[in-house]
Structure 1
Amino acid sequence: MRYEGPIYRPPSEANSLLIQATAGCPHNRCTFCMIYKNGPRFKIRKNKDIKEDISEAREIYGEYVRTLFFPAGNTIAMKTDDLCEICSFARKTFPHLERITVYGSSQFIHKKGLEDLKRLAEAGLSRIHVGLESGDDVILKRIRKGTHSLQQTEAGKWIMEAGMELSMYVILGIGGKDRTEPHAIETAKVLNNVEPDFIRLRTLVPKINTPLLEEIEKGEFQPLGPHEVLKETGLLIENLEARSYLASDHYTNYINLEGRLPREKTKFLEQINMSLKRDESSFRPFFIGTT
């Protein structure tokens, strides 16, 4: 099996077979992301090569592969026919396969439209991980996400209507001190409208070689401290009515929140309030990410 460039996968795909379908990211402009800033440039692998890797994986792991993840940063940008073809091939190669997953940004999902998403679901694509980051259009423009809240909402709804699972990722603190309240409130609005299967929380860690870190160093962006992040999280959860599973399954977060919304909202808020009584020095230190 062949791989090119950084290969990232969500923690929830830790046990999945990784077969690379694309390299790099076709957007690659987000100010907080360093993953593909030094390449490789976005490209889509030939289906022939992808199928060869799937067949090789069958020889290595046998037929009992249950979950498959196609990296890299935006595999949903593949032509629908090609992505359908490799999903169908994977299903035939691994008859016990329960889930096929990709990363996808809202702008590329939106370009597909509902009918193409339905075709992908029929071919076997069953989950998409989407970096919502924020529902605040001011923040989305600042971080050069390449999308806006309405597009993110429509794309998310189409995924759900097509019959696929949707994981939406929120970056706590991505608005800095001046946008913390709008970030929480506007993000909750998008999530309430979409009602994704999973809401996954990440806390902003500035990364080396990114425009966002330069903004921090110049004093143009003021990052939140632990208590401020927790208060922002509380405001987000207070405004959430979506029937989704909430998970903070990442090393960047200050506390672990995991459970079903809205049933466990009170429990989450109690956890946050208890954590706010801790001294800030008891939380993980501020650091700059290198990966």
Structure 2
Amino acid sequence: MRYEGNIFRPPSEAYSLIVQVTIGCTHNKCTFCSMFKDKQFRVRNVQEVLEDLEMARKYHRHVEKIFLADGDALCLSNNKLMVILERIKKLFPECQRVGVYGAPQDVLIKSHEELVELRENGIGIIYIGAESGSPKVLEAVKKGVTREQLIEAVKKIENAGIKASVTFISGLAGPEHMEEHALETASMVSEMEPSYVGLLTLMVDPAAPIYNEIKAGRFKIMNAEEVLGETALMLKNINVTKKCVFRSNHASNYVSLKGDLPQDKERMMNQLKRAMENTNLIKDERFRAL
């Protein structure tokens, strides 16, 4: 396999074959993110991607999942994506799911029929970084997309029969706007009703633009107790009518939460309550990592 630069993938794609379809991220302006700051966005030649798939087949006897990197491979036209997906089906008949990052703008450009076509040819999950349900926070972190667009994109994915996995970030609003971040994120999840929600906790790489805001004193990092309080407020106010797999077990999180909403809400809230009452249950900073 041939890779360019650092490679990133969602936690649930840990055992997937990763194939770069694009290099970098089309937006690449989010202040909290340093993942693709060292890359100039471009789409790889499809022939190169097909060659990588051929190479991978020679080295891997069994591949159940494939993830198309980098930041938002969904920006490719369906014509190009179909060439890649058809080759995957031919070379890896055992592959059960193809996953991809998708910016909301990419999702909204595609028709319902195009998304259904992708689902019928292997795309089983689209990962979207929503980060916050608060319009104020989205603007502050230069997300480049509105709350309404995020909700519409996730609903569109789910309506096409594809699983949407949506990521949010605890602590992204700082202590000053913590309550708004928690409540607006809860209402966004309730309205979206995605198949999966992943909650990370803000950790700042010096290469991320927000690092300078912190150094200048314009943004304050929340402590563990504040983060848990924010998470509890958010979780309390999420009201979904269909099963939503909730995970807050990333390496960045202070407390590992794992359950399904709505049925496991009370258990996870009790877990947060115990950790706030007994700080020994909170992960030490030394063991948190991106």
User: What interval of TM-score do these two structures reach, taking the shorter chain for normalisation?
Assistant: over 0.9
Structure 2 residue matching 1:53: 3-state secondary structure: helix
Partner of 1:204: 202
Answering whether residue 17 of structure 2 is matched by residue 42 of structure 1, we say no
**Aligned pairs for 1:112-131 within 5 A:** 112-131=110-129
Structure 2 residue matching 1:246: 3-state secondary structure: strand
Q: 2:161 is matched by which residue type in structure 1? A: G
Structure 2 residue matching 1:57: 3-state secondary structure: helix
Task: State the identity as a percent.
Answer: 36
Q: 1:80 to 1:90 in 2, by over 3 A?
A: same
User: Per-residue CA shift, 1:68-122, capped at 9, x if unaligned?
Assistant: 0011111111122111221122012111110000111212222224332222112
Task: Write the distance in 1 (CA, Å) between the matches of 2:287 and 2:202.
Answer: 10
Task: Write the distance in 2 (CA, Å) between the matches of 1:186 and 1:74.
Answer: 25
Q: 1:140 to 1:8 in 2, by over 3 A?
A: same
Q: 2:166 is matched by which residue type in structure 1? A: M
User: Per-residue CA shift, 1:127-180, capped at 9, x if unaligned?
Assistant: 111111001010000000010110000000010011111111010010111111
Q: 1:108 to 1:286 in 2, by over 3 A?
A: farther
Answering whether residue 79 of structure 2 is matched by residue 90 of structure 1, we say no
Q: Once the 2 structures are TM-superposed, how far is the Cα of residue 278 of structure 1 from its aligned partner? A: 2.5
Partner of 2:10: 10
Q: 1:7 to 1:107 in 2, by over 3 A?
A: same
Q: 1:59 is matched by which residue type in structure 2? A: K
Runs of 4+ aligned structure 1 residues displaced above 3 Å come to: 279-283, 286-289
Q: 1:72 is matched by which residue type in structure 2? A: D
Q: 1:193 is matched by which residue type in structure 2? A: E
More displaced stretch, 240-249 vs 230-239:
240-249
Q: 1:100 to 1:281 in 2, by over 3 A?
A: closer
Task: Write the distance in 1 (CA, Å) between the matches of 2:214 and 2:133.
Answer: 22
Q: 1:102 to 1:216 in 2, by over 3 A?
A: same
User: Per-residue CA shift, 1:41-70, capped at 9, x if unaligned?
Assistant: 1111111111111111111113x3110001
Q: 1:149 to 1:173 in 2, by over 3 A?
A: same
How many residues align structurally?
288
Q: TM-score, normalised by structure 1?
A: 0.94
Q: 1:97 is matched by which residue type in structure 2? A: C
Partner of 2:26: 26
Task: Write the distance in 2 (CA, Å) between the matches of 1:75 and 1:52.
Answer: 17
Alpha carbons 2:275, 2:282 under 8 Å: kept:
no
Structure 1 residue matching 2:66: 3-state secondary structure: strand
Partner of 2:236: 238
**Aligned pairs for 1:265-280 within 5 A:** 265-279=265-279
Alpha carbons 1:84, 1:124 under 8 Å: kept:
no
- Could you tell me which runs of 5 or more consecutive residues in structure 2 were left unpaired when the two chains were aligned: none
Q: 1:45 is matched by which residue type in structure 2? A: R
Q: 1:194 is matched by which residue type in structure 2? A: M
Q: 1:196 to 1:60 in 2, by over 3 A?
A: same
**Aligned pairs for 1:112-261 within 5 A:** 112-242=110-240, 243-261=243-261
- Could you tell me which runs of 5 or more consecutive residues in structure 1 were left unpaired when the two chains were aligned: none
Q: 1:288 to 1:98 in 2, by over 3 A?
A: closer
Alpha carbons 1:105, 1:130 under 8 Å: kept:
yes
Q: 1:77 is matched by which residue type in structure 2? A: C
Q: TM-score, normalised by structure 2?
A: 0.95
User: Per-residue CA shift, 1:209-230, capped at 9, x if unaligned?
Assistant: 2221111111111121101100
Q: 2:233 is matched by which residue type in structure 1? A: L
User: Per-residue CA shift, 1:15-47, capped at 9, x if unaligned?
Assistant: 1011111111110000001122122x1111111
Q: 1:25 to 1:236 in 2, by over 3 A?
A: same
